[in-house]
Amino acid sequence: MISSTVAELSIALKAGDISSVELTQAYLNRIAQYNGDLNAFITVCEESALEQAKAADAARAKGDTSLLLGIPLAHKDIFCTQGITTTCGSRMLENFISPYNATVVEKFSNAGVVMLGKTNMDEFAMGSSNETSFFGPVKNPWNNECVPGGSSGGSSAAVAADLCAMATGTDTGGSIRQPAAFCGITGLKPSYGRVSRWGMIAFASSLDQAGPICKSAEDAALMLNVMAGLDEKDSTSIDKPVEDYTASLGNSLEGLKIGIPKQHFAEGLSSEVEQAIRDALKEYEKMGAIIKEIDLPNSHLSVPAYYVIAPAEASANLSRYDGVRYGYRCENPVDLEDMYKRTRSEGFGEEVKRRIMIGTYALSAGFYDAYYRKAQKIRRLIKNDFSNALKEVDVIIGPTSPHTAFKLGSKSDPVSMYLEDIYTIAVNLAGLPAISIPAGSANGLPIGMHIVAGDFEEAKILNVAHQFQKLTDWHRQKPSQISGKEV
């Protein structure tokens, strides 16, 4: 039962084949068995999860028919949860207990979802391997010598290892999609503004977006139905009606125009990944889709522009961690400046400090035009590239990542780590929705396929992903053992 999709669990719970308490206990047992090796969870909420499960079973007995009622979920530890620590993967917030719930947390709670705990992540979501977490790296369930990807590495590993039915993630440059690809699961980054960012700890405010991490496109649709929508508390959330994302999953793809960016099938792409994506495209052709090569001429500039914009926004957002109102404070400061400097130097890890430095530099007097303003102009060029391409095609498909999961510790220099997100980052700069779904495997590690569409076209992406999952079973594959233990 624990390997079932959310859609299947919803039916089983409704039919009374299993109770939420039984299901929740099964996941808690699984967490107890594997989390020691995987390190996917920072906090496990056994007691409150079982209470929520009991409440869900009681609500069902009284006639509540909410689709996600009683289904166990894990939240990335970037979402504020009232009464439960929210660390953001940082020493700075090691003991931080939020006085309120993030809107996303509130929405799942109102839908009767059971929260199993909080998942590990790169510190402040800055990383592509989950190695920058203060709480230690997460292991990839498919191979414990490999990273799960990042920054939503804990959520992705937890879903892949069936430690939960579904999880939340956030994506600033690929942080849902790249770990979803590395862990062989489904991860959707919605359009900027589709999901409220309130109570989601800020990294880069014009790029951050929350989304579902789960076992199928259908599950992503069910989760997005709960997550999406206007929130008065987030002035950047968009006032646009939320459609039922499950409604169009079954639409035919006959005549669908798929663009494949030539820049994403060029140097740097591993041959196994390329082959898997080309094979997947053949499946789409069988469904009546038309494949067309497209040009995203400025895509090579997306990583450079991102590493100005994201650090610049981060340096401003992270200035709030000063040791005064909440979070870590250094011991025995001699004066105010010493307190600020030591609090921040001891509370933040190396990568976070590096990005604060880059951002501060890019915004400092004399460099603003050369860096920040220049990056914003490039951002316009990148958005235009997508707008032009999407006039000719309905969706854009390519690899999520140039290769499968890499070994822990194998990318010690920041620049090579930054280039990990080469296919995903442009989408955040443009604010578009995109999904990664499993589409193959090489050497026992999953391969992810990236599907992008226009602003607020999540339903189209989910339809295109679901049709692929109806014909193939890559999303059903599971690691045969986790950390040497038979599954």
* Contacting another protein within 93-112 (CB under 8 A): 96-97, 99
Interface with another protein, residue 423, by CB under 8 A: no
* Count of residues that bind another protein according to CB under 8 A: 75
Q: By C-beta, is 406 or 456 nearer to another protein? A: 456
- In this chain, which of 135, 142, 371, 468 binds another protein, going by CB under 8 A? 371
Instruction: Name the minimum Å distance from CB 265 to another protein.
Output: 21
Contact window for another protein (CB under 8 A) among 6-14, 178-186, 187-195, 458-466: 187-195
In the set 10, 19, 76, 98, the catalytic residue is 76
Site for another protein in 282-301 (CB under 8 A): 298, 300-301
Interface with another protein, residue 361, by CB under 8 A: yes
Q: Is 151 a catalytic residue?
A: yes
Q: Using CA atoms, how far apart are residues 401 and 423, in angstroms rounded to an integer?
A: 6
Binding to another protein by CB under 8 A, coded x per residue (else -) over 439-478, reads ----------------x-----------------------
Q: Which residues pair with 147 in a beta bridge?
A: none
Interface with another protein, residue 414, by CB under 8 A: yes
In the set 151, 196, 216, 401, the catalytic residue is 151
Interface with another protein, residue 367, by CB under 8 A: yes
Instruction: Name the minimum Å distance from CB 342 to another protein.
Output: 6
Site for another protein in 199-238 (CB under 8 A): 206-207, 232, 235-236, 238
Interface with another protein, residue 244, by CB under 8 A: no
Name which of 230, 106, 126 is nearest 168 in CA terms: 106
HEC secondary structure over the chain: CCCCCHHHHHHHHHHCCCCHHHHHHHHHHHHHHHHHHHCCEEEECHHHHHHHHHHHHHHHHCCCCCCCCCCEEEEECCECECCEECCCCCHHHCCCECCCCCHHHHHHHHCCCEEEEEECCCHHHCCCCCCCCCCCCCCECCECCECCCCCCHHHHHHHHCCCCCEEEEEECCCCCHHHHHHHCCEEEECCCCCECCCCECCCCCCCCEEEEEECCHHHHHHHHHHHECCCCCCCCCCCCCCCCCCCCCCCCCCCCEEEEEHHHHCCCCCHHHHHHHHHHHHHHHHCCCEEEEECCCCHHHHHHHHHHHHHHHHHHHHHHCCCCCCCCCCCCCCCHHHHHHHHHHHHCCHHHHHHHHHHHHHHCCCCCHHHHHHHHHHHHHHHHHHHHHHHHCCEEEEECCCCCCCECCCCCCHHHHHHHHCCCHHHHHHCCCEEEEEEEEECCEEEEEEEECCCCCHHHHHHHHHHHHHHCCHHHCCCCEECCEEC
Interface with another protein, residue 47, by CB under 8 A: no
Q: Is 412 a catalytic residue?
A: no
Binding to another protein by CB under 8 A, coded x per residue (else -) over 316-355, reads ---x--xxxxxxxx---xxxxxxxxxx-xx--x----xx-
Q: By C-beta, is 41 or 418 nearer to another protein? A: 418
Instruction: Name the minimum Å distance from CB 357 to another protein.
Output: 5
Q: By C-beta, is 47 or 331 nearer to another protein? A: 331
Burial of residue 62 (number of CB atoms within 10 Å: 0-12, 13-18, 19+): exposed
In the set 10, 20, 152, 175, the catalytic residue is 175
Instruction: Name the minimum Å distance from CB 301 to another protein.
Output: 6
- In this chain, which of 211, 431, 433, 438 binds another protein, going by CB under 8 A? 431
Interface with another protein, residue 375, by CB under 8 A: yes
Q: Is 345 a catalytic residue?
A: no
Q: By C-beta, is 240 or 262 nearer to another protein? A: 240
Q: By C-beta, is 208 or 218 nearer to another protein? A: 208
Instruction: Name the minimum Å distance from CB 375 to another protein.
Output: 6
Instruction: Name the minimum Å distance from CB 334 to another protein.
Output: 7
Site for another protein in 126-165 (CB under 8 A): none
Catalytic residues: 76, 151, 175
